[in-house]
Amino acid sequence: MNYSTLVEEYRGGVLENIHFGVICGVDESGKVILSAGSEEHMTFLRSAAKPFQAIPVAKQKIDEKFGLTSREAALFAASHRGETYHMEGLESILKKTGISEEELLTCPTYPLNEEPKFACLREGVPKRRLFHNCSGKHLGFLALSKEMGYPTDSYYDVSHPAQQSALEAFAYLAEYPKDKIGLGVDGCGFPVFAVPLVNIAKAYLKLACPDLIADAETREAVVKITGWMSANPDIIASHNFVCTALLTDPNIIAKGGAMGVYGFGLKKERISFALKVLDGSELVWPLVIASILEQINYENKDTIERLRALVPSEIKNDNHLVVGEKRTVFQLEKR
């Protein structure tokens, strides 16, 4: 396998951990311009697929038909963390659409963020399907199914018309044959797509530069979805998370997924990147993305600083003493 060393971690000057991975950057023509490792690495998008999975929901104007606000609709593309502002939006979607929480496939759980999770435990609040970080995506498909008269008890099945519409939309934007997309089952029970890393980058390019999308209906849906994301960075993840830190920059459209996959596009520069950390770590995302932005001389230094603040290069022990450091060691190859 052709991969690159992305991050090294040292403790007391001794190399302790290595994070290998692959990175691919494309320009507006879809040509690979920067890389580290093989851009052909087959990669499951996991939650990085959410903006694309929301396309059939946006195409049918589900937000308008049910009177949803931008913050509520943004949950269709979010990996929410169970904060109060997430739950208020999710509860409102239930009320406005008439969906019952029991209709969700998502497994009952507690919020991912520690503060709301511990609040639930202190107050004896039971696990809920709505606390699952993918519940917004599921609500979008349930609302779409109700509106279109599709079955609601199988909305998560790959053969369901809503799922097929999402698969077709992603294949179109990724410029990859639908019948060659690798299919699996995600943690939340939805179909999950696998394509070469370069095709993830091509798909994210269309999110950042929707004028490249020939089909008017798909283009309109993408403009709407990315508008929700840019207007509500805290909804897409939450404070102190990389998606929110990147989306705070109006020039960037970004979304990560489980097991180390990340995609982002730059509007002004008209380029996009996809990356995969091969050990599945999400902790090194900010370091890797900050390094990519630095290597292309990205002009918004505030964005880079926000990323570096999320994961400092210093490694501290339990007593808050500096005991080591993390180093990004890859150099993007110009193609």
**pLDDT tens digit sequence for 164-183:** 999 999 999 999 999 999 99
C-beta neighbour count of 15 within 10 angstroms: 11
Task: Please check the confidence at residue 304 and state whether its pLDDT lies above 90.
Answer: yes
Q: What is the pLDDT of residue 164?
A: 98
Structure-block tokens of residue 293? 């932005």
Structural fold of domain 4-334: Beta-lactamase (3.40.710)
Amino acid at 151: P
Strands (E), the chain: 4-11, 14-26, 32-36, 42-44, 182-185, 191-196, 252-257, 261-266, 271-277, 314-316, 322-328, 333-334
DSSP run (H or E) holding 95: helix 84-97
Q: Per-residue pLDDT tens for 35-89?
A: 999 999 999 999 999 999 999 999 999 999 999 999 999 999 999 999 999 999 9
State the average pLDDT for the chain: 97
Structure-block tokens of residue 112? 């991912």
pTM over 0.95, yes/no? yes
Every domain of the chain and the residues it spans: 4-334
Task: Please check the confidence at residue 27 and state whether its pLDDT lies above 70.
Answer: yes
Percentage of the chain lying above the pLDDT 70 cut: 100
Give the C-alpha separation, 7 to 18, whole Å. 6
Cβ pair 330, 6 in contact under 8 A? yes
Average pLDDT over residues 186-211: 97
Q: By 3-state DSSP, what share of the chain in percent is helix, strand and coil, each rounded to 5?
A: 45, 20, 35
Q: What is the pLDDT of residue 1?
A: 66
